[in-house]
Amino acid sequence: MRHMRKSAGVLAAGAVAALALTACSTGDGETPGDSTDATVDAVEVDCADFEQYGDLSGKTVTIYAGIVAPEDTPYMTSFEPFEECTGATVDYQADKQFEQQILVRAQAGNTPDIAIVPQPGLLAQLVATGTVVPAPEGVAANVDEFWGESWKDLGTVDGTFYAAPSGASVKSLVWYSPTQFEENGYEVPETLDDLMALTEQIAADGNNKPWCAGIASGEATGWPLTDWMEDMVLRVGGPDVYDQWVSHEIAFDSEVPTQALDAVGEYLKNPDYVNGGIGDVSTIATTAFQDAGLPILDGQCSLHRMASFYAANFPEGTDVADDGDVFAFYLPSEDSSTKPVLGAGEFVTAFSDRPEVQALLEFWSTDTWANLKAAASSEETGGGWITANSGLDTDNLVNPIDLLSAEILLDPASEFRFDGSDQMPAAVGSGAFWKESTNWITGQSTADTLSKIEAAWP
């Protein structure tokens, strides 16, 4: 029986303390060998479980991904039991320009064994190069057991299942300050009407503008707006219409998308509502998304719609908790009877069917791995990683935001939908949609914006 390596305890304690996670103390003060802690108990690893993979000594599996330091270390840690029990070596390499490089490498036939692909659209492009191998039986079985149909579909191209999901994130979140809400008597809204009423109330109170937003992100400038719009399509049209919109069965400039973008505009294009602590509407275009939610901390802004991973952008010492400096609530739906959730995730794609690669893929799709990874992330980076694997034990999450996200993801009432721009063809999903959204916030009309994106659809 092996325990997880805990040599990163100092770092983890630092990171956890930095986040001042008062609600959860699992990571704190832990010493090596202390196995009474839930974080570690949950992921005890038995080498007997690995016997099915056989002896893989001397074999190497190469992984290529866009996840760079410091988020890469929990990945390496999560593979250690596999390496120790099977004798195989896992060689993890990351590059920020992964998304460009992997396609070029695949077209040239120079592929790694495994790639962590963050978008279904990119997965489809990779499959089109003919280098991706279908997922082994064992992986398919695990995905059936732990994820379910909709996630499996995301890893399927033209009827063949290729890639198992791994990490996930929740995008339908609105960041706010619990302290500020309490002082002013604001309440977390339950419906979209409540959200608008709250917005009006904050604006009327006049202490600060209600919303803050920023969409600058280098090459990808505009993507936070595409997330906003996707969330609104999900709410205005519902998940089915959302699917039709993403797969282009309805036009990009048809009625529902138009209503959805206008709904975004009611918040973000109203000079009375934005841009709290930053400036006027035009500053949304030039503010880095990393900076855009920070005015919440000094009471200059009350609401910021951004994915779960935004937690990492608050400075050290920020109390992220439902009674702390900042926290997030689920972006409500039209009425509380439905719960559409916008999110994203990454897919484990293999380019080789060598036994050691298949073995790692299978291990990667288990609940054991999911818990190992969650625990490693909790220890080494203070959290920031969740998965939709239903075998995930939420005791392995230390970060309140991770807990909230996992709750939303694993809630049976939730209707999860994957980030649409990640599934659309690149010419739209990472081209016209980003660009025209940016033009929209700097003054272009909704009709012009949507018809230009429609025209860009290949």
Partner 1 sequence: MTTTPPPVQVVLPAGRSEGDVAATVRATKRRLTSPWATVAAIVLATVWTIPTFGLLVTSFRPAADINSTGWWTVLTNPNFTLENYRTVLATDSSQSLLPFVINSVVIAVPSVVLPIFLATLAAYSFAWMQFRGRDALFVAVFALQVVPIQVTLIPLLSLYADIGVAGTFWAVWISHTMFGLPLAVFLLHNFMREIPGELVEAARVDGAAHVTVFFRLMLPLLKPALAAFGIYQFLWVWNDLLVALTFAGSSNQVAPMTVALFNLTGTRGSQWFLLSAGAFVSIIVPAIVFLALQRYFVRGLLAGSVKG
Partner 2 sequence: MNVADKLVAMVLALAAFAVVIGLILFVVSLLERRGARRVAWFFVGPTVLLLIVGLLYPAGRTVVRSLFDAAGSSFIGIANYTAIFSSPDQLVVLRNTVLWVLVTPFVATLVGLLYAIWVNGARGESAAKALIFLPMAISFVGASIIWKFVYEYRFYDPDVRVNPEQIGLLNQVLVWLGMQPQQFLLNQPWNNLFLIVVMIWIQAGFAMTILSAAIKAIPAEITEAARLDGVSASQLFRFVTVPAIRPTLVVVLTTIAIGCLKVFDIVRTMTGGLYGTSVVANEFYTQSFTAGNQGLGAALAVLLFVLVIPIIVYNVRQLRQAEAR
In the complex, the residues that contact partner 2 under the rule CB under 8 A are 100, 103, 125, 128, 218-222, 275, 278-280, 282-283, 285-286, 425-427, 430-432, 435, 438-439, 442, 452, 455, 458
Question: Which position among 35, 110, 160, 336 is part of the footprint of partner 1 (CB under 8 A)?
Answer: 110
3-state secondary structure of 165: strand
Query: Residue 96 contacts by C-beta under 8 Å, 6 or more apart in sequence?
Result: 66, 68
Cβ atoms of residues 356 and 88 within 8 Å = yes
Rounded Cα distance, 185 and 322, in Å: 15
- Ranges of H-type helices in 147-254: 149-154, 178-184, 192-205, 223-236, 238-246
Question: Which position among 65, 90, 216, 441 is part of the footprint of partner 1 (CB under 8 A)?
Answer: 216
Question: Which position among 10, 38, 47, 288 is part of the footprint of partner 1 (CB under 8 A)?
Answer: 288
Question: Which position among 11, 13, 94, 251 is part of the footprint of partner 1 (CB under 8 A)?
Answer: 94
- The count of residues interacting with partner 1 (CB under 8 A) is 22
Q: Please give the sequence-ordered ranges of beta strands (E in DSSP) within 215-369, or none if there are none.
A: 301-305, 327-330, 340-350
Q: Which amino acid is at 26?
A: T
Using CB distances below 5 to 8 A depending on partner kind, what does residue 179 bind out of partner 2, partner 1, none?
none
Using CB under 8 A as the binding rule, whether residue 271 contacts partner 1 is answered as no
CA-nearest of 290, 272, 274, 273 to 282 is 274
Q: Which amino acid is at 38?
A: A
Distances (CA, A) of 312 to 161, 318, 322, 342, 381: 33, 10, 16, 19, 9
Using CB under 8 A as the binding rule, whether residue 415 contacts partner 1 is answered as no
Q: How far is the CB of 390 from partner 2 (least distance, A)?
A: 33
Nearer to partner 2, 276 or 384 (CB): 276
**Residue-wise burial string across 385-409, b where 16 or more C-beta atoms lie within 10 A, e elsewhere:** bbbbbeebbebbbbbbbbbbbbebb
Using CB under 8 A as the binding rule, whether residue 297 contacts partner 1 is answered as no
Mark the segment that binds partner 1 (CB under 8 A) among 15-23, 161-169, 216-224, 435-443: 216-224
Question: Which position among 46, 49, 187, 219 is part of the footprint of partner 1 (CB under 8 A)?
Answer: 219
Rounded Cα distance, 57 and 35, in Å: 29
Rounded Cα distance, 392 and 146, in Å: 9
Using CB under 8 A as the binding rule, whether residue 431 contacts partner 1 is answered as no
Residue 292 exposed, middle or buried by CB count within 10 Å (0-12, 13-18, 19+)? buried
Using CB distances below 5 to 8 A depending on partner kind, what does residue 279 bind out of partner 1, partner 2, none?
partner 2
Question: Which position among 96, 249, 266, 323 is part of the footprint of partner 1 (CB under 8 A)?
Answer: 96
What binding mask, one character per residue, do residues 312-351 give for partner 1 by CB under 8 A, x or -? ----------------------------------------
Q: How far is the CB of 435 from partner 2 (least distance, A)?
A: 7
Which residues contribute to the site for partner 1 (CB under 8 A)?
68-70, 94-97, 101, 104-105, 107-110, 216-219, 287-288, 290-291
